[in-house]
Amino acid sequence: METPGDNGIDFRHPELWDEPDYIRKEIACTMSHIYRYGLTTTSGGNISVTDSLGNLWITPSGTDKGSLKPGEVVCVTHDGTWEGPFRPSSEYPLHRSVYAVRPDIRALIHAHPPLLTSFSIAHRVPDTSVVGAWRETCGAVGYAGYAIPGSEAMGETVAREFMKGHNTVIMENHAVVVGGRDLAEAQARLETLEKCAMTIHAAGFPGKPVITENASGANPEFNSGNYLPKTGRMLPGVTDKEMSPDEELLAEEICRTAARACRMGLIYGFCGTLSARSAGDNWLVTREKVLRCNIGKGDINVYGSPGNHTIPGERLHAEIYRRFPAVRAVIVARPPCLMAFAVTGKEVSVRTIPESWILLQEMPLVPFGALSPGREEIFEKLSAGIPVVLIANDSVLVTGDSLLRAFDRLEVAEMTAMSHILGKSLGSVNPISDNNITELKRVFFSK
């Protein structure tokens, strides 16, 4: 079988092959996903892909985006002609203009997510520098001035922003358009940018977002990636052995948990890493640069002994499993309400409702630098029996004696952060009293 190096084709991106049925299916599936997750409306938004023959495949005009069928996707040839029962999207000039100035972009999504639309009518752009992983995924956000939808002027205005190197552009009083080398990358940027916007909005309640030194770029020491960027080749340390039957079942559980976390808005795009301990020293972890909503067993890596690891993200998970035998699962995520506290440097009090305190007890914030090799803050918190640690300008780290327990803690932690933010919008937040905490300790933790 040919490899990517044999003929220059990137086999991670089959939508770039000249297969009409595949292109139509991928566009329809992506549109269905962003509609189902509330990122666009029935009549709003459009998606396109270009092939190597110069054809532009685009969603049709005037159809229900919530029930788009592959056969409804329109192919516009290089000379602008098209055939079929539907006209191309009225935003076709926008797509054509961007592709003309950015041949590296092969997929575009124009959508109306609520928070990004709010930024567009406030004439602001979200600062992705608040979290390095967001900056790495989305880059700096461009801003295109107002123009009539569907006009050549709009296409030219947006294309100028893409010419500057932006891959994500806020459209004044309109919405957003994002591009990528494939639909997966474009979708990941759309989802990540919307969560970034949600976080910045929510951060107005606990405080002002802070840019921590080095947080605006990928952390050079701890990066959860298990793939070399843009190559798809596995890094050293990943076993190539077949999974055992038990590991197959564990991989399926990881996939189900990832899908569930996506449905709850806890992970999204390429953001979010799930791992679980297997037999002996083995543990399984989700690969990077894979849409979290689409993770399958083939996207799960098996790692061996947690001893001498050279990959930063691998080291973090491996060190946790090495030091804490009782930990069976680790989740690293960036849900918007928890990240509102992480980017403002504020701790989340879990003294909101009894269930939050019983499950979490404490959720400390450690500095961004705690991710660097040789730093012990995270491990000290875990050693003290604390299962959830918030990392400034980066993520939340959750552990558990099972994947379900780790997921439950992540869900409750995000709900707790959300209750603080919403509570402050209503007035003051009143925590559970010390006497109530003492009573909870007696009832639930006394032997």
User: Could you tell me whether strands 74-76 and 107-111 are parallel, antiparallel, or unpaired per DSSP bridges?
Assistant: unpaired
Tally of CB atoms within 10 A around 108: 27
Map out the domains of the chain as residue ranges. Answer: 4-203, 245-444
pTM of the model: 0.88
1 pLDDT tier (thresholds 50, 70, 90): very low
Residue-wise pLDDT tens digits, 210-256: 776 555 444 433 343 332 233 333 333 444 457 899 999 999 999 99
List pLDDT tens digits, range 412-440: 999 999 999 999 888 888 889 999 989 99
**233 vs 75, higher pLDDT:** 75
Name the CATH superfamily, with its identifier, for domain 245-444: Class II aldolase/adducin N-terminal domain (3.40.225.10)
Query: Where do runs of H (alpha helix) occur along 238-335?
Result: 245-263, 312-323
Does the fold of domain 245-444 match that of domain 4-203? yes
335 close to 131: Cβ distance less than 8 angstroms: no
> Is CATH 3.40.225.10 the classification given to domain 4-203?
yes
Question: What's residue 44's pLDDT?
Answer: 86
C-alpha to C-alpha distance for 361 and 363, rounded to whole angstroms: 7
Lowest mean pLDDT among 38-47, 92-101, 229-238: 229-238
Which string of b and e fits 298-330 if b means at least 16 CB within 10 Å?
Answer: ebbbbbbebeebebbbbbbbbbbbeeeeebbbb
What gap in Å lies between CA 45 and CA 71, rounded to an integer?
18
